Structure 1
Amino acid sequence: MLKTHIGDKSSPCKMHKKTFVTNAEETSHTRTHTKDKRFSCEVCGKTFKTKPDATIHMRRTHTGEKPFSCKCCDKAFPTKAELKLHVRTHTGEKPYACKVCGKAFTTNTGIKSHMRTHTGEKPFSCEVCGKAFATSSTAIRHMRRIHTGEKRFSCKTCGKTFVTNSEVTSHMRTHTKENRYLCEVCDEALTTSTELKSHMRTHTGNKPYSCKVCGKAFTTSSNAMKHMRRIHIGDKRFNCEVCGKTFVTNAEVTSHMRTHTKEKPYSCEVCNKAFNHKSSVTIHMLKTHIGDKSSPCKMHEKTCVTNAEETPHTRTHRKDKRFSCEVCGKTFTNKSDATIHMRRTHTGEKPFSCKCCDKAFPTNTELKSHVRTHTGEKPYACKVCGKAFTHESVVAMHIRREHTGGKPFSCNGCNKMFATSTHSKIHMRTHTGEKPYACDVCGKAFASITMLKSHMRTHTGEKPFSCEVCGKAFATSSTAIRHMRRIHTGEKRFSCKTCGKTFVTNAEVTSHMRIHTKETPYSCEECGKTFTKQSLAVKHMRRIHSGE
């Protein structure tokens, strides 16, 4: 009667002008000023200002009692207030509307937090670093994640710990396989309403969050924030405790830590193969067990397992290179290529190390390939002759060179044909003069990373390839193979089509053919004299012009 009809609030707070209907309300409110916490938990001793707060704490933390259940879905809650809020998810009721933009909310707390997006008010600050937040819950999460590392909520199924109870609820759906939120467009099931909202934007194309610096738009606020930190301010506030590497987000640290712990928390339900990331399990399932390639390329018959794969592939046709290197500006069709370029060319970072010899690599794929040099594993075999190889791409090259003679890639400068696009690109650099790989020791530059690696061994003295017969060591595998054929087997599998002379390597055939064609592709930069071999041009330069 007093609250609703008469409006009499006769008990004013002595600290400020706020008034209350009853003395009990005024007394309870006063404790927020006096810090009086007279009600304590019988189990853990934690104190509270009011008895209801102590009761709710007991239910949530210790007894798990949830006496209030929903009639629509039978979900239960520890308090009646939480039940009322939950019921609105069924009725769709949102009684609190923003007077500025009209957006509606289910709770008064929600409207208050939202209003701060208009006013810019951030009344809650971190006691350690002073960072300000719009809500108290965000300030508490910040304190736990950044400063204390406290994770008081744990999963009863697997024991994994979390900062907030809501994270536990979301995580539990990975065990129950519960997907409560269904997309009305494509029927994809999502575990949280936030995920559903973000997913819907893939259909609508809506990008409501934009960068204040460059104006680039994003589907989520977190992506806009990550863009700001990565591109404009370079803020990497999260660091790995093992190696010290810094990251833009805590999620990236968690993912990176698996390179140290070797943890693979996600497994395939069919074959139990373990993976670092949940997305890797999905792709594995599609590629290995289902075999569904539902994203066909519109340019030809190639199909991709996921839309994520289809998009970078499509860019190879459109020449769309939207990912650029922050150092040199070179552009790439997908983000992973840009990351690998950064590691190989600029930072030299090699986060993947071999357990057998401690050699490190910039990508996990290169590490896997390297490990086969220790295990001797050759999982890819030629269907024609049965010869086994460590890489699938090497099998394709072998078939073209030895069996079909196919060279589908041609040079635009001289029409020379190649078995692979990589060899074609490297060859093109003989025309353009491009040498993107430079030696850190002497500064000499090379057209390919393979050439640079071989060159680096002239400084380190490393000779990782040895002859199986006499044990002689070599800096490159090709030199070891040539040695084996010349000294031990006498094998000369490559022959000249003009005169029939045989050679150990195909490169020797190419060089020999210039005797017949009179081709002299290498010239002296000083006098213009031409030669059949690059080595002859170098010797000429040293003897005649340099005086060496």
Structure 2
Amino acid sequence: MEKALCRVCLSKTAIKSLFDAVDEIQYCAKLKKCVKIEIHENDGLPDCICECCVNELNLAYDFVTRCEISDKTLRYLKYQDSKEDGSKDQCIGENQCQESEIVFDLEIKEELDVKCDELLQNYDTDILYADISKLGYSDEDTSITKGDKKSMRKPKRNQKNDKRTKTGPLRCELCGQLTMSQSALETHMRTHTGEKPFVCDTCQAQFRTKGSLKRHFEAKHSDKRERKFTCETCGSSFYRKNDIIIHIRLHTNEKPYVCPYCSKSFSQIASLTRHKRVHTGEKPFSCPICGKRFNDRNLVKKHQSVHSDERKFTCHLCNKSVKSRTTLNTHMSVHSNEKCNICSFCGMAFTMKGNLTSHIRRAHSEKSGHCSICFKSYSDIEAHMRKHTGEKPFLCKLCEKSFAAQRSLSHHMVFKHKNATKFKCAIPDCTKAFPTAKMLEYHLFKHHNKNDTPYICQHCSRGFYRPSDLTRHQKVCHLDAHPKIIL
């Protein structure tokens, strides 16, 4: 048989051996745990598996392991409940669940964090942590924060009359995330408020948690810290063992954290956490100015430039200033005249990727076409031809006004019928109302504060009430100040 034949799907793209081990577990062992088949070396059958089947196998193995963990844990908890009720000898399912029989395999200890999240829905936190501790897990096996450990501290065994307060998990009102204590909830809320109460005495850097401050101090200001862990491949050294483990994955291309939604894998669990928000729609980070929510903290920082007029980055060729380095890099391609974006349909080249996208939509989409009247190409030739014919097939049911495009009808419904009076003028004796805040702002400047024009031309000091009016003025009157670059 062909060596590249996959043992599972029989495709000819198998690249990994079934006897290779990931996290000390062979693929064949995972396969045996999920399905009842026998796999042996030199049995004459294909001994490889393709990348696609590896991802599916990891998902199936994780699911089976999670079921086993949950079953053992629930049976143990039920045994504990029956023990407290005086019915220790009660049968649990088909087998007697005795405390000495609850032994977890080392290979599935990493699933504790998943199990904790699932059990949080039904069990009191104090009882849960006490029961988990009895199962043989150490602090290093869990992903529970220091605040959680403090609130879930295991009670003393010789304390007979332990009257603990049984409080359930606390849920964040903003994003719905569960926390196991009040202190953990307060720490989590700082991701929404942006509060950073822990300050470094040396450099005044601020942090949300005490642990982050400690790691910062050890990395930046501690003289006793040594880089004890060195990579044998590239020679890079690290302070912590966990850091070098993550670094080595760059050389081995190991990605042990698999997305349960799309099978995409990652080398770090933090990357997987950020990626899963794309599927779940969770957006735990919000802009402190406008409240807009994002699924990544870095996106909040990038978004905040919208609220600022500061332009830190300047082009050294034309002195144009922009807000971000990414925008500056995009702008520099205008001067280089490198047209790297080539249309795969007609071969036309463009400097900007956005121009290529617009070109494909306008000239090569299913609805696009060339107008025989005005000799131009349009992304929707049928809608464009209505401008020449005067046809308006989209009718408003409220005022019977007709439009040539569906987008125009939708715009009309929002501005004239649904939100026509959403923003009302607060000036006494003024009954005007507008569908948008920008229109209300223009009304206030023009009719109630005529002496104040917020948008000033930098060339002639003429004032305008709207930014669009200022842009139009600069294009007409000061074209020489900003010469157009022809590509």
TM-score class normalised by the smaller sequence: 0.3 to 0.5
Q: Please, what TM-score do these two structures have when normalized by structure 2?
A: 0.36
Q: Please, what TM-score do these two structures have when normalized by structure 1?
A: 0.33
Q: Structure with the greater relative contact order (CA < 8 A, sep ≥ 6): 1 or 2?
A: 2
Q: Which has the larger radius of gyration?
A: 1
